[in-house]
A and B are shown apart, each in its own frame.
Chain A
Amino acid sequence: MVAFIIRRLFAAVLLVLVIAFVTYAIFFLVPQVAGLTPYDLAARYVGKTANPATIHARMVKLHLNQPFIVQYFDFIRDLVFGAHYDAGAEQSYCPPPCFGYSFVYQTPVWPQLASRIPVTLELAAGASVLWLVGGVTIGVISALRRGRPVDRVSMGIALAGVSLPVFFTAILSQSQIRDRFQIFTGAGGQWVPMHTDPMQWLSNMILPWLTLAFLQAALYARLTRAGMLETMGEDYIRTARAKGLPERTVIARHALRATMVPIITIFGLDLGTLLGGAVLTETAWTLPGLGQYAILSIGDNDLPAVLGVVMVGAIFIVVANLVVDVLYAVADPRVRLAG
């Protein structure tokens, strides 16, 4: 088992390095292949009143006139050891992992990312509990009442949930729940951290949780329903019933447990993806998380920031994959023997 984890860990680190290289190449090599000069790239890192001398100085300072491979190794060095940037009156220290310096915000990227991770975590944590509990419960009830009105209504709502994009449900809940009925009026308003004002924080978060969970819960309800229907037809369920076990035990201990294995796998991957930034939810609800940062950085052509957010997102997904792999191996020994 230890050897399996070490193998997987090694593969994960390698994968992150490959992602770093590819991402760096996309943002700093591809534009040059497409015709932009290092000077043009440097022009994106200066203000609107900059003169050619300022742009040239910025190009040299960022080593954009160096060969690509030198730039890449500088990036990896700063990522591991951190870097210092000239802030005029003082030096700005960018601690590892230093993804570079945002010349839009005039700050190192990593502290910006670090300050946004908790917001995304809080959004993901609340929403994932809601969608997992809600989705699985609805899925189970629907499977047990197959063909009845409860099943049809549940699956109808699930279909709507899957079909309606977050930006639509967000706008609908803003217009009807928040603005019309004045419930959770903090949603979409000024962000307040949980430790500062828990009630205001809840007012900020509940509607975003619900809109995000509605989309995902619908998916999980359909998956759970399908899994339960398949499992309930298995021989061992019939055997359990034949043994005289109460129906509640048959469902909870035998049917649901078997259904939950693929659900948990998908849940791990979904959560990993979400931790990289719930772009639509954060943008629609003005939540200062990684997803909003990604959109803003792309809009500003802030390449170090985009690079940073892509890397953080990739790391979350790689880690989530690693965790799922390990859990699989725990659940099924054949996996670690094969892998």
Chain B
Amino acid sequence: MRNVAYLLAAGGMLAVSLAACGGSGGTSSGSPASSFNAAVNGVVNVSTKTGGIVKYANSGDWDDMDPGDTYYAYTWNFDRLFARTLVTFGDTPQTATTLVPDLATNLGTPSKDLKTWTYTLRPGVKFEDGTPVTSKDVKYAVERSMDSTTFPNGPTYFAQVLDAKGYAGPYKDKTPLKAIDTPNDSTIVFHLAAPFAEFDYLAMLPDTAPVPQAKDTGANYKSHVISTGPYMFQGNYTPGKDFTLVKNPNWSQSTDSVRHQYADQIQVQINAAAPDIDNRLLAGTLGVDITGSGVLPATQAKILLDSKLKQYTDDALTTRLWMSAISPTVAPFDNIHCRKAVEYATDKTAMQTAFGGQLGGDIATTLLPPSIPGYTKFDDYPVGPAGHGDLTMAKQELTACGKPNGFTTTIIARAERPKEVAAALAWQQGLAQIGIKTDIKKFPQGDYFKLYAGNKAAVKKNGYGLMMYGWGADWNDGYGDLSQIVDPRAIHGVGDTNLGVTDPAVSALIDKALQTTDTSARNTIWGQVDKMVMDEAIYVPFLNAKGLYYRPPNLKNVWVNPAFNGQYDYLSISAN
């Protein structure tokens, strides 16, 4: 028996020593020199060499491979490889957030009242089967994306903005959609219900990627999206299964100013084990973690202790804001002073620590992140120099609210998000300092907005006074960031992302911005919207998120794209 014990002890030591040796196996000595944040400040490993395979891995799966039915920053970033849209973003770090024409020859031409927008298509753009792309294909793509029953995942901006109330999409509604005209094969005209100065951003959405009606199979179209970009699907795509993109022979560089066709293939692995994604990135056998959420905390610790690894990382600022919501429909938060007491008592430093400290992000005081035009620095509810809360002000507000000794309420958070739950705990401890006792309840993230935080009736009935929340801009602009979380018209009762702002003055200010053609003046208004909402103490912004990304040394043309939530630019990346 003693011999067996020796044997086990020896085996255990061997395993531990082997694990300890696993540190930086992936960094080859011949790797080119690099530096921390090099891809934040420019393009790393610039190369125009062709060939090779770029390997991506996804710890989840697309919400839908159909460009008309997808709503993640990484899918919008990646889908550009096979789906061209009327407008897109620039292809350099300097022009990353600037809109440039893609299928169109120019940005949209608006009418004077900003209710009609016209685009002219470039000649020579073809589908992967060689058929020319026409304006009717773009119109059909937008029409079908408005069928929220068949395509329930995508954004609903076109349904909200076009003068097409009640239109149910081309499958159910056989009446042609009058809100979009195609006077000829190269012209498309959008008619809006109200002035909308930022319509070019909508023309950037994947919904405008053309779909040939003859090839449309509705919800099954995702099995083979007909490409207009430099890459196309090899065979068919099956949800939940890996896929490969190969070169599209009918794509022409002469018609495309932002894309290239350097790599031979792009391979994407679906539902990969998240820790193994990091292992393979460090080993150099994987190129990119496609979700762009950064490495896991365990990998982060490993990287930061090893300067050889750290030189291949970027700590990029994203447009994601971690915040919490205070529900004004749940007593005592129907009294603004009780909400303000929570704002002042919040320990933002502890909540930042829950998200990984300074590498996880910078402490936030506004809804607009600094990377979005219109951001104005202000702090309605300072939480003290150390960020642990201003207890004097918090107690004053509690007294004004009529609850000088505090009260009891509930915090809700998403169970599958350990950082969010840790931040909820930090928030709980901060609030306890002024006598606000909280009970933390955790719910599945898949149901979080439909059945809990975003369900108006459930919030009121169950007394969910405080709700953990996070939001990333749809695009880098005031409307793309704020409209869905502050416009009272975005409240439907179920699946809401506006968790309590009901002031009609906010809607009026948003409408004013949308009627303002001057970009600078418009951005100023977005700053005012931010201030107006923060004055109501509905939201508690606490962190402008950062993500620590690892780029294997053999990856070429790597740069952080702020237009896509600080992820690497997937159009540019090529392989060794």
Q: Which residues of A contact B (CB under 8 A)?
A: 36, 40, 43-44, 46-52, 54-55, 57-58, 86-90, 92, 103, 105-107, 112, 115, 149, 152-153, 155-157, 159-160, 171-172, 174-176, 178-180, 182, 185, 188-191, 283-286, 288, 292-293, 296, 299-301
Contact digits for B20-57, partner A, Cβ 8 Å, 1 yes 0 no: 01100110000000000000000000000000000100
| Alpha-carbon gap, A54 to B241, bound state (A) | 28
Main SS at interface, chain B = loop
CB nearest neighbor in A for B244: A190
The answer to whether the Cβ of B285 comes within 8 Å of any Cβ in the partner chain is yes
Please determine whether A179 and B271 come into contact, CB atoms closer than 8 angstroms. Answer: no
Please determine whether A188 and B273 come into contact, CB atoms closer than 8 angstroms. Answer: yes
Contact digits for B434-454, partner A, Cβ 8 Å, 1 yes 0 no: 000000000010110111000
CB nearest neighbor in B for A54: B148
CB nearest neighbor in B for A36: B451
Q: Which of B25, B272, B273, B450 contacts A43 (CB 8 A)?
A: B450
Please determine whether A172 and B239 come into contact, CB atoms closer than 8 angstroms. Answer: no
Please determine whether B446 and A284 come into contact, CB atoms closer than 8 angstroms. Answer: no
| Top 4 closest pairs, chain A to chain B, by CB | A88-B218, A47-B152, A89-B218, A88-B150
Please determine whether A49 and B219 come into contact, CB atoms closer than 8 angstroms. Answer: no
Q: Which of A157, A185, A188 contacts B276 (CB 8 A)?
A: A188
User: Distance in Å from the Cβ of B575 to the closest Cβ of chain A?
Assistant: 14
Please determine whether A179 and B22 come into contact, CB atoms closer than 8 angstroms. Answer: yes
User: Distance in Å from the Cβ of B327 to the closest Cβ of chain A?
Assistant: 19
Interface size on B, residues (CB 8 A): 70
Contact digits for B241-277, partner A, Cβ 8 Å, 1 yes 0 no: 1101000000000000000000000011111110110
The answer to whether the Cβ of B576 comes within 8 Å of any Cβ in the partner chain is no
Q: How many A-B residue pairs have CB under 8 A?
A: 184
Chain A residues closer than 8 Å to B216, beta-carbon distance: 89
Q: Which of B405-462 contact A (CB under 8 A)?
A: 416, 444, 446-447, 449-451
Please determine whether B8 and A159 come into contact, CB atoms closer than 8 angstroms. Answer: yes
| Alpha-carbon gap, A171 to B299, bound state (A) | 14
Please determine whether B450 and A106 come into contact, CB atoms closer than 8 angstroms. Answer: no
CB nearest neighbor in A for B60: A296
Please determine whether A155 and B4 come into contact, CB atoms closer than 8 angstroms. Answer: yes
Please determine whether A286 and B217 come into contact, CB atoms closer than 8 angstroms. Answer: no
Most chain B beta-carbon neighbours within 10 Å: one of A55, A92, A152, A179: A179
Q: Please name 4 further chain A to chain B contacts, defined as beta carbons within 8 Å, in addition to the given A87-B219, A178-B283, A179-B279, sorted by A numbering.
A: A89-B220, A152-B3, A180-B21, A191-B269
Most chain B beta-carbon neighbours within 10 Å: one of A40, A172, A190: A190
Chain A residues closer than 8 Å to B19, beta-carbon distance: 172, 175-176
Chain A residues closer than 8 Å to B444, beta-carbon distance: 301
| Alpha-carbon gap, A188 to B55, bound state (A) | 13
Chain B residues closer than 8 Å to A88, beta-carbon distance: 144, 147, 149-151, 169, 171, 218-219
The answer to whether the Cβ of B300 comes within 8 Å of any Cβ in the partner chain is no
Q: Which of B314-337 contact A (CB under 8 A)?
A: none
Q: Which of B63, B279, B286, B494 contacts A51 (CB 8 A)?
A: B494
| Alpha-carbon gap, A160 to B219, bound state (A) | 49
